[in-house]
């Protein structure tokens, strides 16, 4: 469409081909202090438009806005992409511009079970373009366009400190203890990247450590009519490494949590996906993303407040000893 710059343009038309939406991208980044604006162009058949108005709504909670005739106080300067599209498409193309509120969660889907049918539960954003005489008019599928977009977050440029945790277990009728220290090589991991867990055990007790088990768990706060926290293991490792009394032990274990190994788990949080594209385990939600007003109210959709993975390292003696590390993914 634009060979001079080879810009990618997403296009979708209504079933009756009277309304068409053009977008330059479908992923819009939440930078914590602002969200990328959504700007595009609506092309409408003039014979179909007549005395109607061209408009659109956004998101699961409908927020309508009018693209034509333009509302003077809502007009914004056209972007470079909009200028090119308007020049190419002609006088029946109309620009639109809106922003996604910062206090909304990013796109996320809860994985359905193997036997579940119907649309998966989650947070979706979509642009729905249509022509109508008023906002209250019933919108029909035949003469409207629905195009899914995503609200996403990128990893911070400056990762935090290396996660480390330690714990000591004291045993009944004994003054000798078992000390466990666990650390990760870094705080931030990308999808499909292996996680290295450094385990150090100082066993001053009279007991023998018989096994080391490491698991990566996803934690998600989900708010429907009440808020509940769900945890789901996404990677596990168990080793028959023994630590005898009055000795020390140090070893690095590696786990790689992936969606391929967890496709049967109902309720697992996944990144929101577009049609015909695969997705990943849900990325960790950045702090302060969702306001307390959103968290405290009853909502008709899922809010992914925090799905920070957690590494748990239990040492199996006669009593379990464990420590947890939180990191971002």
17-33 pLDDT, tens digit each: 888 999 999 999 888 78
Q: Which residue has tokens 């005739």?
A: 69
10-153: which CATH architecture? Sandwich (2.60)
For the segment 106-122, the average pLDDT, to the nearest whole number, is 81
**Do 164-327 and 10-153 have the same topology in CATH?**
yes
Among 211-215, 282-286, 303-307, name the one with the lowest average pLDDT. 303-307
In 224-318, DSSP assigns E strands to 227-239, 247-255, 269-271, 310-312, 315-316
Residue 3 neighbours by CB under 8 Å, 6+ apart: none
pLDDT on residue 323: 57
pLDDT on residue 53: 56
pLDDT on residue 167: 85
Question: pTM (2 decimals)?
Answer: 0.74
* pLDDT tens for each residue of 197-240: 899 989 898 888 888 888 888 888 777 677 777 888 888 888 88
For the segment 160-183, the average pLDDT, to the nearest whole number, is 84
Q: Interior CA angle at 258 toward 287 and 108, to 5°?
A: 45
Per the structure block, which two tokens stand in for 52?
């109607």
pLDDT on residue 88: 92
Q: Where are the domains of the chain?
A: 10-153, 164-327
More confident residue, 190 or 57: 190
Q: Are the C-beta atoms of residues 37 and 99 closer than 8 Å to each other?
A: yes
More confident residue, 208 or 303: 208
pLDDT on residue 5: 56
- 87 band by pLDDT with thresholds 50, 70 and 90: very high
For the segment 231-255, the average pLDDT, to the nearest whole number, is 89
* pLDDT tens for each residue of 39-69: 999 888 877 766 655 555 555 445 566 666 6
Strands 315-316 and 211-223, how do they pair? antiparallel
Share of the chain above pLDDT 70, in %: 75
Is the pLDDT assigned to residue 149 strictly greater than 70?
A: yes
Which of 72, 68, 118 shows the shortest CA–CA distance to 91?
68
164-327: which CATH architecture? Sandwich (2.60)
Is the pLDDT assigned to residue 72 strictly greater than 70?
A: no
Query: What integer best gives the mean pLDDT of the chain?
Result: 77
Dihedral (Cα; 316, 317, 318, 324), 10-degree rounding: -50
The conformational region for residue 210 under phi > 0 = left, psi -120 to 50 = alpha, else beta, is: alpha
pLDDT on residue 6: 65
């Amino acid at each position: 469409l634009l060979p001079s710059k080879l810009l990618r343009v997403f296009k979708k038309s209504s079933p009756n081909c009277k309304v068409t939406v053009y977008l330059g991208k479908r992923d819009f980044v939440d930078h914590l202090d602002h969200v990328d604006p959504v700007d595009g162009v609506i092309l409408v058949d003039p014979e179909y438009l007549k005395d109607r108005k061209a408009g659109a709504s956004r998101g699961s909670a409908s927020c309508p806005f009018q693209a034509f005739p333009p509302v003077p106080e809502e007009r914004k300067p056209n972007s470079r992409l909009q200028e090119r599209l308007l020049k190419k498409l002609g006088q029946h193309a109309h620009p639109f511009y809106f922003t996604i509120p910062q206090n909304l969660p990013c796109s996320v889907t809860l994985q359905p079970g193997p036997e579940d049918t119907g649309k998966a539960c989650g947070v979706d954003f979509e642009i729905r373009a249509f022509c109508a005489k008023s906002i209250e008019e019933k919108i029909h599928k035949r003469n409207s366009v629905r195009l899914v977009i995503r609200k996403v977050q990128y990893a911070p440029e400056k990762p935090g400190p290396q996660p480390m945790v330690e714990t000591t277990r004291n045993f009944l009728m004994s003054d000798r203890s078992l000390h466990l220290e666990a650390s990760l090589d870094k705080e931030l991991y990308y999808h499909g990247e292996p996680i290295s867990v450094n385990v150090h055990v100082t066993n001053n007790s009279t007991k023998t450590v018989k096994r080391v088990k490491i698991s990566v768990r996803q934690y998600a706060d989900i708010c429907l009519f009440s808020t509940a926290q769900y945890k789901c293991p996404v990677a596990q490792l168990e080793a028959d490494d023994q630590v005898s009394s009055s000795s020390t032990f140090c070893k690095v274990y590696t786990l790689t949590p992936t969606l391929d190994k967890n496709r049967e788990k109902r309720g697992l949080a996944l990144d929101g996906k577009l049609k015909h594209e695969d997705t990943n385990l849900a990325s960790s939600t950045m702090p302060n993303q969702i306001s307390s007003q959103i968290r405290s109210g009853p909502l008709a959709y899922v809010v992914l407040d925090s799905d920070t993975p957690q590494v748990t390292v239990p040492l199996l003696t006669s009593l379990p000893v464990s420590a947890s590390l939180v990191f971002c993914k």
